[in-house]
Amino acid sequence: MNIIEIENLTYSYPASKKPILKNINLQVEKGDFLAVIGNNGCGKSTFCKTLNGLIPHFITGDFEGSVTVDGLNTLESDVGTLACKAGYVYQDFENQIVRPTVLDDASYACLNYAMEDYKERGREALSLCSLEGREDDYIWQLSGGQTHLLALAGAVSLRPDILILDEPIAQLDPSHADRIYNVLRELNEKHGKTIIVIEHHTEYIADYCKHVMLMKDGSIAWKLPTDEALRRVDELQSCNIFPPQVTVAAHRMEQEGRFSKEQTLPTTVEEGKTVFKSLRYHLPFPCKKPAKGKREPVVEFKDVSIAYRSVKGEDRVIFDRLNLEIHRGEKIALIGSNGAGKSTLMKLMVGLLKPGDGDIMLDGESIRRKKTESLSKKISLVYQNPEEMFIKDSIQADIAYAMQVRNIDNYKERTNELLARFNLTELKNRDGRLLSGGQMRRASLAIGIALNPGILLLDEPTANLDIATRKEIMRTLNDMKEVTETVMIATHDMQLVCEWAERIVVLCQGKVVADGTRDEIFGRRDIVETVGIRPPEIFYMGQALNKKALCYTVDEFLERFKEV
């Protein structure tokens, strides 16, 4: 039975002449788990909003064709009725939560639709989304992942048959992401819900989704079963979508003639185990480790303690006597789960937070008595959310600002240089906020290095980006290696860690639990498991084939696993 039927849907937003959705025809079966993929701006989110009636009832515009959801034509039903058929979770989900406490928000919609059992429905939804026991908590007490689950619970409480999620795991660390998808799988399999996700992470699509739909420029290119869809490696890559690393590896082998055409490409590590089982692991030539000379420390944390005031009860201790040394020229990745203290560590270094106890030395001088603005020539921080970096009305003005107020002589030339370097010259008069995700990141990086600081700190530079933009930012970061001496990146993105970092520092509950090269970190199972970090998929593939294998990129995998 088809739960969604769309015929000849064409839609354009009120103020624009070009249609954003063009002649869409689609059937979705009841109980499907569908991933919608496509470039940024191809109309994925708009498409999803036509399913719950927000378009055309709430957002007007030119609407042609028909959308039928569970037998109801969306044009003829109102948003309220449709909300009980299709629940929607936004990408910026925290703005969708409007009540101060958890149970209250989960049951809010039911209350508004005058359902007598609204409290029970709220509770039920919370337990389905594994938020039991948090009913009376306030929203700000939840972690990012829990907040997302709450947004989901708010949608589930109306008991819709369809759930639509816009990039559910973009801001989450791997363990939270797993939790979301496990909840979704349970809703799908045990409760028969039809689930539609907009998703960039093909590894998750491979593991959880049943069908994949590719959108291109407002039309549907195809809808196929997941395996088949992910095997279309060339087509996906041409749309800036990156198939699972396992699939890419096999595809490359196929091109090199190492893989017979008859065999289907694997999409998960499990499939990879059988497909690649004939491969042998070859130890790489032990490359000479660069002699670890005594490197000069640029930042030293000396017994630093800091705690946040909390609303109720005890203060929350973030660091208790933390010690850490950062040396000149290092490229450090700072990893750890949400809330481990990564952002706090960075804010301490730029003087935005003062340590409660202990001291931080920058170039041998204590920063305790220094003003933040005087530090900014030496050390600079780029926020996780680039929108908060834009304080002027054009990116040109934003990049120039710090230099301008410091009366740096050739600040105009330097601004133009930076604009050119980050490929932003054409956009220089635009407001940073109105740029695309990747452009925003590039602009924020340009702002960060405007004063030519010796140390650059980046907080989650690749969060919230689709994979194509992520690759682009990764390239930019690699280019920047020569420009800034010492760089530290806090991130969940293990591909970035593996390809970029020379030293990895693992934070867990305010303590440095591991510190070393990638082999020293990922090679230690205990750390990987206790801290909940996740190496790239290809690393798991290698491990599954040979316990000794430590390969972090597809290139390394192909190099070290050979037929003979």
Partner 1 sequence: MKMKKKLSENILDKFSIDFLRTQVLKNAYGNDDTVIAALDPRILIVWYLFMGLVPWFVNNLWFLMACFILVLVTTKLARVAGLVLLLFVIGVFTQTGYLLVVSLFFGGNASTVVSLLILTLKVATCSLASITVFSGLDPDRLSNGLMWYGCPERLSFSISYAYRVLPMLMGEFQNILLSFRMRGNPPEHETFAGKVKYLFYQVKVIMHAFYPLMLNTAKRSRTTVEALEIKGYRYAAVNKAVKKMKFSTLKVTYNDLLFLAVSFLWISLSVLASTLA
Partner 2 sequence: MQLVKKQTATQSQKLMVFVLTMALYGLATLFTELLPKFQVGFVEFSVEFFLFIPLTLAILFDPLSAALGAATGELVFSEIMLGQFGGLGELEKFLTVTIGVYIAGRMVRNPANRKMVCLASITGTAVQLLMGTIVDIMKVQFAVEDFEAVAGLPESVFATEGFAFLNDLLFSGILFCLLPTMFLVPRLYGKIEPLLGMRPRDEQTGLGGINIKVVIGAVIAFAVAAGAELLASSGTALIEWEADWAESGTALAVGLVTAAVVAVIALIALKYKAGKGEAEQI
Which stretches of the chain bind partner 2, using CB under 8 A? 13-15, 56-60, 393, 431, 434
Q: Which of 71, 80, 133, 192 binds partner 1 (CB under 8 A)?
A: 80
Shortest gap between Cβ of 454 and partner 2 (angstroms)?
34
Contacts for 71-79: CB closer than 8 Å, 24+ residues apart: 74/50, 77/53, 78/53, 79/52, 79/53, 79/54
Residue among 57 and 327 whose Cβ is closer to partner 2: 57
Q: Which of 113, 130, 159, 523 binds partner 1 (CB under 8 A)?
A: 113
Residues 515 and 488: beta-carbon distance below 8 Å: no
Q: Which of 46, 52, 337, 491 binds partner 1 (CB under 8 A)?
A: 52
Q: Which of 112, 182, 517, 530 binds partner 1 (CB under 8 A)?
A: 112
Query: Should residue 435 be labelled a site residue for partner 1 when binding is judged by CB under 8 A?
Result: no
Paired residues of 380 in beta bridges:
456
Shortest gap between Cβ of 346 and partner 1 (angstroms)?
12
Query: Should residue 249 be labelled a site residue for partner 1 when binding is judged by CB under 8 A?
Result: no
Residue with tokens 């399913």: 51
> Which of partner 1, partner 2, none does residue 15 bind (CB under 5 to 8 Å by kind)?
partner 2
Residue 243 corresponds to which amino acid? P
Burial label, 313 (beta-carbon count in 10 A; 0-12, 13-18, 19+): exposed
Residue with tokens 């070859």: 282
Paired residues of 87 in beta bridges:
163
Shortest gap between Cβ of 56 and partner 2 (angstroms)?
8
In what order do the strands lie in the sheet containing 86-89? 86-89, 162-166, 194-198, 33-38, 211-216, 219-225
Would you state the structure tokens that stand for residue 462, as one six-digit string?
């690749």
Residue among 431 and 502 whose Cβ is closer to partner 2: 431
Q: Which of 287, 291, 311, 564 binds partner 1 (CB under 8 A)?
A: 311
Residue among 391 and 483 whose Cβ is closer to partner 1: 391
Q: How far, in Å, CA of 343 to CA of 545, rounded?
A: 37
Parallel, antiparallel, or unpaired: how do β-strands 62-69 and 2-12 relate?
Answer: antiparallel
> Which of partner 2, partner 1, none does residue 14 bind (CB under 5 to 8 Å by kind)?
partner 2
Residue among 25 and 429 whose Cβ is closer to partner 2: 429
Query: Should residue 192 be labelled a site residue for partner 1 when binding is judged by CB under 8 A?
Result: no
Shortest gap between Cβ of 253 and partner 1 (angstroms)?
44
Would you state the structure tokens that stand for residue 522, as one six-digit string?
């990922």
Query: Should residue 116 be labelled a site residue for partner 1 when binding is judged by CB under 8 A?
Result: yes
Residue from 426, 347, 72, 35 nearest 200 by CA? 35
Query: Should residue 11 be labelled a site residue for partner 1 when binding is judged by CB under 8 A?
Result: no
Query: Should residue 165 be labelled a site residue for partner 1 when binding is judged by CB under 8 A?
Result: no
CA angle 432/456/506 to nearest 5° reads 110
Query: Should residue 389 be labelled a site residue for partner 1 when binding is judged by CB under 8 A?
Result: yes
Query: Should residue 114 be labelled a site residue for partner 1 when binding is judged by CB under 8 A?
Result: yes
Burial label, 114 (beta-carbon count in 10 A; 0-12, 13-18, 19+): exposed
Query: Should residue 402 be labelled a site residue for partner 1 when binding is judged by CB under 8 A?
Result: yes
> Which of partner 2, partner 1, none does residue 500 bind (CB under 5 to 8 Å by kind)?
none
Residue among 13 and 281 whose Cβ is closer to partner 2: 13
Give Cα separations from 210 to 31, 204, 235, 239, 489 (angstroms).
Answer: 10, 11, 19, 20, 35
Query: Should residue 63 be labelled a site residue for partner 1 when binding is judged by CB under 8 A?
Result: no
State the binding string over 405-434 for partner 1 (x if CB under 8 A, else -).
xx------------------------x-x-
Parallel, antiparallel, or unpaired: how do β-strands 219-225 and 211-216 relate?
Answer: antiparallel
Shortest gap between Cβ of 116 and partner 1 (angstroms)?
7
Interface region with partner 1, contact rule CB under 8 A, candidates 18-26, 137-145, 204-212, 361-369: 137-145
Residue from 223, 198, 206, 226 nearest 36 by CA? 198
Q: How far, in Å, CA of 28 to CA of 2, rounded?
A: 5
Residue among 99 and 258 whose Cβ is closer to partner 1: 99
Omega cis (within 30) before 297: no
Alpha helices in 174-244 (DSSP H): 174-189, 202-208, 226-230, 233-238
Shortest gap between Cβ of 403 and partner 2 (angstroms)?
21
Give Cα separations from 426 to 394, 419, 444 (angstroms).
Answer: 12, 9, 16
> Which of partner 1, partner 2, none does residue 405 bind (CB under 5 to 8 Å by kind)?
partner 1
Shortest gap between Cβ of 393 and partner 2 (angstroms)?
5
Residues 342-371 that bind partner 1 (CB under 8 A): 350, 352
Shortest gap between Cβ of 478 and partner 1 (angstroms)?
25
**Count of positions on this chain that bind partner 1 (CB under 8 A):** 59
Residues 446-465 that bind partner 1 (CB under 8 A): 447, 450-451
Shortest gap between Cβ of 102 and partner 1 (angstroms)?
12
Query: Should residue 312 be labelled a site residue for partner 1 when binding is judged by CB under 8 A?
Result: yes
Shortest gap between Cβ of 79 and partner 2 (angstroms)?
9
Would you state the structure tokens that stand for residue 360, as one six-digit string?
């931080």
Beta-carbon contacts of 555 under 8 Å, excluding residues fewer than 6 positions away, are none
Separation of first and last alpha carbons in the chain? 50
Paired residues of 379 in beta bridges:
455
Query: Should residue 54 be labelled a site residue for partner 1 when binding is judged by CB under 8 A?
Result: yes
Would you state the structure tokens that stand for residue 503, as one six-digit string?
């030293």
Query: Should residue 94 be labelled a site residue for partner 1 when binding is judged by CB under 8 A?
Result: yes
Residue among 150 and 538 whose Cβ is closer to partner 1: 150
Q: How far, in Å, CA of 208 to CA of 33, rounded?
A: 8
* Contact residues: partner 1, CB under 8 A: 52, 54, 58-59, 79-80, 83, 88, 90, 92, 94-101, 104, 108-109, 111-114, 116, 118, 138-140, 154, 309-312, 350, 352, 372-373, 376, 380-381, 383, 385, 387-391, 393, 401-402, 405-406, 431, 433, 447, 450-451
